[in-house]
Chains A and B, each alone.
Chain A
Amino acid sequence: MSEYVIIGNGAAAAGCIEGIRSVDRKTPITVISKENRPAYCRPLISYYLEGKAVPERIGYREADFYQKNACNVLYGKSALSVDGEKKYVTLDSGETLPYTALCIAAGSSPIMLPIAGIEKVKKLFTFMTLDDATAIKEAVGKESRVLIIGAGLIGLKCAEGLCESVKSIAVCDLAARVLSSILDDECAALMQKKLEEHNASFMLGDTVEGFEENEALMRSGKKVGFDIVIMAAGVRPNTSAAKTAGAEVNRGIIVNDRMESTVRGIYAAGDCAEGMDISLGARRVLAILPNAYMQGYCAGVNMAGGEYVFDKGIPMNAIGFFGLHALSAGSYFTKEQGGEIYEERSEGKIRRLFTKDNRLCGFMFIGDTDKIGIYTSLIRDRVPLDTINFDLLKKSATFAAFSPEIRGKKFGGVV
C-alpha cells in the first residue's frame, strides 16, 4: 500500500503532516518519533526551566492532532537507515517501513566538545529536549554554580531560564561576543549586559581546556568552579539516515525549493535540511522554527502530489531577555561585498538596515519592534528599494513608504 513516512516528530514533521493533508486526506502517514511524546514547542523548554511554561501545555498541536490527521506515530523509535532505491526505512528495532514518499525531518543534535577530563563531570547536560530540561531542573538547586559552554541562542536561553533559581551562572564562548552568528558586537553587548544584570557572568574569547570533577580550567588560565555543566556549543543537523540513502549532504541535507533531496521520493525539512537562503543567495541551514514548519509544509504538499514552492527562506530571529528584544532577519554584507548600512539610534534603541543591489538584505533592531515585519517582508519579497520610499523606512516603519496602489492591495482586500 502506498504510504507516507516521516522521520522525526518536531515542527517540520507537523508542517509536513498538514501539507500532506491539504492535498490527500486518506493515505496513511507513519511518523517515526525518537522522542517518546507528541511534537512540542521546543523553544519553550527554557520557559519551562524558568517556570513560565508547563510540559502539559507546550504541545505544538492539539491532543487529537495525529488521530485527526490519520497518522500512526511510532514513539520511542529511531530510523537507522533508508534504502532510497527499494524505498524503505529500517528502524532501530529492526522493523522496516516501505514508503512512497519520505520526509526526513530529524532536526539537529547538540555538539559534544571532546574536552579533556569531561568524563569526570558528574552533572553534564545538553539543552535540546524536554527531557534535558527536566533533568537540569532536577539537578539544580539554589546553591548551584552553573557553567554553560556556548553563548549562542540555546546557551543564553538556558542561562535566562536558570538565572533566578541558581547561585551563579558562568557562560563561556570562543567567540568574542554573545549570539555571534546573529548579532554584531554592539548589539550583542547590549543583550549581554541585560543578562549580566541578572546573575550571569561571561568569559568570551575563552573556552574550557580541561575538566576536574568540579572545576574547569579555561584557556585563559582562569579556574572556574561549578556544580553543573551545560554543553551548548552548537548543533549538528541529523543527516545520517539521509546519507545511507545516498542523498547529497553538506552541513545539512541538500534540498531544492520543493524540499526534494537529491534522491527521488526523499524530501527533507527543518533543522536537518540545507535549503536556499534568499537573503544570502546561497544554501544554508536555517535552524529556526518558522523555517522548519514552512519547509515541512512545502515538503508535505509535494509528497502528496501537489505543487508547492518555498523560495522565501531567510534567517529570522526574535530574541528577548528580560524585556529587551533583539529582532533580526536576513544577511549582512560588508562594504567590500557591495553592502551598505543605515543606522538610527536613540536611547536604548538601535536600528540597522543592511542593503545591497537595491534590495534590503538584512536588519538588526534592538529595543524597537514597531511594524518591524515590514522590513522582513521587503527581504522575503525581494522588493526593489527604488519602487518604494525607502528613505522614510530608514527612520521608522510606516506604510506611507508605499504607493497608495500598493497600500490598496495590502489593505483593501483579502490577502
Chain B
Amino acid sequence: MKRVYVNEKWCLGCHLCEYNCAFANSGKIDMALALKDKPIYPRIHIDGDEKVPFAISCRHCTDPICVKSCISGALKSKDGVITVDKERCVGCLTCILVCPYGALTEGNDGVATKCELCIENSCESPACAAGCPNGAIVYEER
C-alpha cells in the first residue's frame, strides 16, 4: 500500500505541506479564502528544530492502536487506510492519547483529525507530497 513518507534530509521545514493539506481538506476552491487569517487544521505537521525539521503524519499502521482504542467506533481501517467518521467521533481524544506517532490532532470541530491520504477529498493523491517544493515528501509503496 502507498503511504506518505518524509525524507528528513530534504525537508526544509517550510510548512507548505501544512497549508496544502489544510486547503485540500477545506472543501474550498480558493486557497486564500480557505486559509487567509484563519487558524488552520492541517493533518501533517512540521516537527523538529531549525537544523533538522521534518514533517510527520499518520503512518497508517498495520496494527493501529488508535482504531483499537477508539471508544466511539469512529476510527476504522479500510483496506489499510485509517479514517475518522466525523459524525461518530465525540472528541474524547483517546486516539491522540495513544498514537505513538503524534499523528492525530483535535480539529476545529473538536473531533479527531488525521491524514486520510486525500482519499475522501477531491485531490487525486496526497496534496502534501504533490506540493512539496523539495521533493522531501513522497507518496509511495515501501
Q: Which A residues are in CB contact (< 8 Å) with B71?
A: 41, 43-44, 289-290
Q: Which B residues are in CB contact (< 8 Å) with A219?
A: none
- Docked-complex contact A59 and B73, CB < 8 angstroms: yes
Residue of B nearest to A373 (CB): B99
- Docked-complex contact A410 and B101, CB < 8 angstroms: yes
B121 in the interface (beta carbon within 8 A): no
- Docked-complex contact A329 and B69, CB < 8 angstroms: no
Q: Which stretch from B34-42, B89-97, B126-134 is at the chain A interface?
A: B89-97
A57 in the interface (beta carbon within 8 A): yes
B135 in the interface (beta carbon within 8 A): no
| Main SS at interface, chain B | loop
Complex Cα distance A407/B87, Å?
34
- Docked-complex contact B94 and A290, CB < 8 angstroms: yes
Residue of B nearest to A412 (CB): B5
Q: Which B residues are in CB contact (< 8 Å) with A329?
A: 97
Q: Which A residues are in CB contact (< 8 Å) with B87?
A: 57
Complex Cα distance A217/B65, Å?
46
- Docked-complex contact B59 and A411, CB < 8 angstroms: yes
Within 8 A of B (CB), among A339-390: 369-374, 376-377
Complex Cα distance A411/B72, Å?
27
Q: Which A residues are in CB contact (< 8 Å) with B72?
A: 41, 43-44, 53, 58
A52 in the interface (beta carbon within 8 A): yes
B61 in the interface (beta carbon within 8 A): yes
B15 in the interface (beta carbon within 8 A): no
Complex Cα distance A290/B142, Å?
29
Q: What 1/0 mask marks residues of chain A from 35 to 71 whose CB sits below 8 Å from any chain B CB?
A: 0000001011001000011000111110000000000
Complex Cα distance A318/B96, Å?
9
Complex Cα distance A398/B46, Å?
10
| Given A297-B68, A399-B48, A411-B5: A318 in contact with B100 (beta carbons within 8 A) | no
The smallest C-beta distance from B115 to any residue of chain A, in angstroms, reads 13
Q: Which stretch from A82-90, A275-283, A320-328 is at the chain B interface?
A: A320-328
Complex Cα distance A290/B75, Å?
13
Number of A-B contacts (CB under 8 A): 118
Q: Which B residues are in CB contact (< 8 Å) with A377?
A: 100
- Docked-complex contact A399 and B93, CB < 8 angstroms: no
Give the B interface residue count (CB, 8 A): 38
Give the A interface residue count (CB, 8 A): 46
The smallest C-beta distance from A362 to any residue of chain B, in angstroms, reads 13
The smallest C-beta distance from B20 to any residue of chain A, in angstroms, reads 19
Q: Which B residues are in CB contact (< 8 Å) with A43?
A: 71-72, 92
B116 in the interface (beta carbon within 8 A): no
Complex Cα distance A369/B87, Å?
22
A400 in the interface (beta carbon within 8 A): yes
A415 in the interface (beta carbon within 8 A): yes
Complex Cα distance A320/B112, Å?
13
- Docked-complex contact A327 and B102, CB < 8 angstroms: no
Complex Cα distance A15/B88, Å?
20
A1 in the interface (beta carbon within 8 A): no
Q: Which B residues are in CB contact (< 8 Å) with A57?
A: 87-88
Q: Which A residues are in CB contact (< 8 Å) with B56?
A: 399, 411
- Docked-complex contact B92 and A320, CB < 8 angstroms: yes
A301 in the interface (beta carbon within 8 A): no
| Given A370-B102, A376-B100, A399-B54: A318 in contact with B73 (beta carbons within 8 A) | no
**Among B5, B90, B105, B106, which residue has its beta carbon within 8 angstroms of that of A53?**
B90
**Among B6, B69, B88, B97, which residue has its beta carbon within 8 angstroms of that of A411?**
B6
Residue of A nearest to B110 (CB): A323
Complex Cα distance A293/B63, Å?
13
Q: What 1/0 mask marks residues of chain B from 51 to 67 whose CB sits below 8 Å from any chain A CB?
A: 01010100101100100
5 A-B Cβ contacts within 8 A? Answer: A41-B73, A373-B96, A373-B104, A407-B54, A414-B3
Q: 9 nearest interchain CB pairs? A: A371-B102, A290-B69, A377-B100, A373-B99, A318-B94, A43-B71, A318-B93, A318-B97, A289-B71
18 further A-B pairs in the complex, CB-CB below 8 A; given A43-B92, A44-B90? A58-B72, A289-B69, A289-B94, A290-B94, A293-B68, A319-B92, A323-B110, A369-B105, A372-B97, A376-B97, A397-B102, A399-B48, A404-B8, A404-B52, A407-B54, A411-B54, A415-B61, A415-B62
